[in-house]
Amino acid sequence: MRILKKLNTDVSVENTNRTLQSVTDDEGYLYSGLLFSDSPAIDAFGRLRISNPFTLFDSKQIFKDPDLNDNEENFPLFFDNQEVSGTGSATLFNINTASTTLRVSNVTASNRIRQTKMRFNYQPGKSIITFYTFFLSSALTSGITRRIGYFDDNNGLFFEDDGETYNFVKRSYITGSPVDTKIPQSKWNIDTFDGNGSSGITLDFTKVQILIIDFEWLGVGRVRFGFMIGGVIKYAHELLHVNNQSNVYMSTPNLPIRTQIINSGSGEASSISQICASIISEGGTDDLGVIRYASTGGNHVLAADTNIIYALIGIRLKSNYISNIIKVLSTYTQIHTASSKVEWMLKFNPQVAGDFNYIDLPHSAIQFATGSVLNTVTGGYNFAGGFTESGGQPAGAAGSVGKEVGNAIRLGTTIEGVKDTLVLCVRPIHFSTDVYSEGAITWRELS
């Protein structure tokens, strides 16, 4: 604050992006300060947006997996893609248009969803802004519902074409059942984008659009929906919850990206194409979660055969903690024999033979399982690996508790709730006697 001069009245000067506010104290001294008025230059918490976005996730579709067909999900490590009910729906990836298209057939009831397996961590006090590029193959079509945004079956925020109108939707599970609050285009309270709004712009949803949703949660914060037009964010509608309702507006802010198309059974053949998406924390993020650890607990695994892979220890999310974010910090293997060497691997979603039973780790989001000689491993994706000799050593690049195993993929679930697994494995590569192995995983839980 700066004392300018003694006055008896307040003075304010405004322009489109900021307000110079002045107030007088009890003695008539004038104080001034520069405050920014509400606009796209302000994040969900009223702070001036500057160039420090921290990307939690992004997706662009410019490469083709040669092991997959065009009608399969091209990014199966990140996305699940299913016909969750009915028949006749399909998926088509097109590298030339860098997009995945979800389709339904003519007058055939079906529901197809493409959704990230992982959720994204909201940190209280920091704005989340999300971007989605999409294309609708046709205008409003009776019997067809198309959705895109930040949501799952129970909670979320999304854009919807319900066959009759375009809506912004807030989905909430606070009653114990999902409830959708729809705001039709004619009721958008900032700009209706039908030619009658403040901008005079009419959006054509049969052309590509960039949807923007930003929000503060803290259980009760503001939500804004809008579109990127001409390189500028233009908001269409906002939801104000503080001082307006008696509870949180949705049960969790940790949600996936989802695209969905539904044919009630009476609709024409239709589609929705998803192009890019990004989830950004404005102002960075701080990993303040609890560090946890699990091991084989002194129960060694007899690795009896050369070049066979054995499971030492695995982790996965508990069913009621699927929105937790798990960052693996380190792994450790140890072997007990005089002359043997093994390769260790941290595998994502391998197939483990025999009984590999997951049990709850108390006061944690994680279940863990420990292996035996019967738990041989096939398939899966290698996230990390290396070699170790008798006596054991930290399992390679992960190193210490302070360093994350650097991978963009986090533990998640399929749309139907099948949980991802991370399994620490060993493969004997040379030995003269049996190899006895133990292992451990350390991770950070962000809730």
Q: pLDDT tens digits for 411-437?
A: 999 999 999 999 999 888 866 556 778
Q: What percent of the chain has pLDDT over 70?
A: 84
pLDDT tens-digit map of 246-271: 999 999 999 999 999 999 999 999 99
Taking the mean position of all CA atoms in its chain, how far away is CA 347? 21
Q: Find all residues with CB under 8 Å of 177, minimum gap 6, and list them.
A: none
Convert the pLDDT of each residue in 311-339 to its tens digit: 999 999 999 999 999 988 877 777 666 55
Rounded mean pLDDT of 139-153? 97
Token pair 């950004």 is found at 280
Q: What is the CA radius of gyration of the chain?
A: 26
The DSSP annotation for 242-309 comes to TTT-SS-SSS-S---EEEEEEE-SSSPSEEEEEEEEEEEEET-----PEEEEEE-TT--EEE-STT--
Mean pLDDT calculated for residue range 343-358: 94
What angle (nearest 5°) sits at the alpha carbon of residue 285, between those of residues 403 and 442? 30
The yes-or-no verdict on residue 400 having pLDDT over 70 is: no
CA-wise closest residue to 179 among 155, 150, 163: 155
pLDDT confidence of residue 342: 81
pLDDT at 5: 42
Contacts of 104 (CB under 8 A, 6+ apart): 88, 89, 110, 112, 144, 261, 262, 263, 267, 269, 270, 271
What's the burial of 347, exposed, middle or buried (CB within 10 Å: 0-12/13-18/19+)? buried
* pLDDT interval class at 397 (50, 70, 90): very low
Query: What pLDDT sits at residue 286?
Result: 81
Q: Helix (H, G, I), strand (E, B), or coil: what is residue 381? A: strand
pLDDT in tens, 23-64: 555 555 555 555 566 777 777 667 676 757 889 999 999 999
Q: Would residue 279 be called left, alpha or beta, if left means φ above 0 and alpha means ψ between -120 and 50 degrees?
A: beta
Percent of the chain past pLDDT 90, that is, above it, reads 66
pLDDT of residue 438: 83
Average confidence (pLDDT) over 71-93: 96
The reported pTM is 0.85
3-state secondary structure of 225: strand
Which residues pair with residue 68 across a beta bridge? Answer: none
Assess whether pLDDT exceeds 90 at residue 343: no
Contacts of 227 (CB under 8 A, 6+ apart): 193, 203, 209, 210, 211, 212, 233, 234, 236
| Residue 269 and residue 123 in contact, taking contact as beta carbons nearer than 8 Å | no
What mean pLDDT, rounded, does the chain reach?
Answer: 86
pLDDT value, residue 217? 94
CATH 3.40.50.300 is held by the domain 53-282: no
- Mean pLDDT across the stretch 278-299? 88
Q: Is 382 in contact with 373 (CB distance < 8 Å)?
A: no
Report the distance separating Cα 260 and Cα 114, nearest Å. Answer: 6
Domains of the chain, by residue range, sit at 2-35, 53-282, 290-446
- 88 CB neighbour count, 10 Å cutoff: 16
Residue 344's pLDDT is 87
Quote the CA–CA distance of 228 and 149 in Å, as a whole number.
15
Residue pair 402/330 in contact (Cβ under 8 Å)? The answer is no
Would the pLDDT of 368 be above 90? yes
For 378, residues 6+ apart whose C-beta sits below 8 A from its C-beta are 309, 350, 351, 353
Distance between CA 346 and CA 369 in Å, rounded?
14
